[in-house]
Amino acid sequence: MSFEPKIIAFLCNWCTYTAADAAGVARMEQPANVDVIRVMCTGRVEPMFVLKAFAEGADGVIVSGCHPPGDCHYTNGNFKTFRRMPLLENLLSQFGIDKGRFHWGWISGAEAPQWAELTRNFTDQVRGLGPLNWKDQIASKED
């Protein structure tokens, strides 16, 4: 059986979650690999959540919210994401996690096709990178 990655997506309620909802309503083709966790704003996404997802066995993680500058429902929550995510990206590579396993960006509520495309492309990309097995690695170190 070919490898099917598990991907966790943290989406903001107002933009990308709306886009994902619309993509579903419009019956756009999306892989079943991506599971969505809704947050009110990507500014709520603590780097810990992303690390936790990898540690629990995710092969890829997406963080997506509203387009900067003006799209954010909460005025500037996306800017906080903009500041945190590049730092997190560096941290991940220090942990030995390939940059291709982590995507952060912006998809507005009106961009359902872009969301569907992102899920397809990102799943293909992570599938190409193979299983991460971070969970097992951590477990073996703890033993």
Long-range contacts of 24-29 (CB under 8 A, 24+ apart): 26/112, 28/112, 28/113, 28/115, 28/116, 29/116, 29/120
CA distance 84 to 86: 6
Residue 61 Cβ, how far from other proteins at the closest point, in Å?
10
Residue 36 Cβ, how far from other proteins at the closest point, in Å?
9
Residue 124 Cβ, how far from other proteins at the closest point, in Å?
19
* Contacting residues toward other proteins, per CB under 8 A: 6, 8, 32, 35, 37, 39-41, 43-46, 48-49, 52-53, 56-58, 67, 69-77, 80, 84, 108, 110
131 cis-preceded (ω within 30 degrees of 0): no
Nearer to other proteins, 28 or 79 (CB): 79
Nearer to other proteins, 28 or 51 (CB): 51
Closest CA to 74 of 11, 14, 18, 17: 14
Nearer to other proteins, 78 or 116 (CB): 78
Nearer to other proteins, 23 or 61 (CB): 61
Residue 80 Cβ, how far from other proteins at the closest point, in Å?
6
CA distance 59 to 15: 24
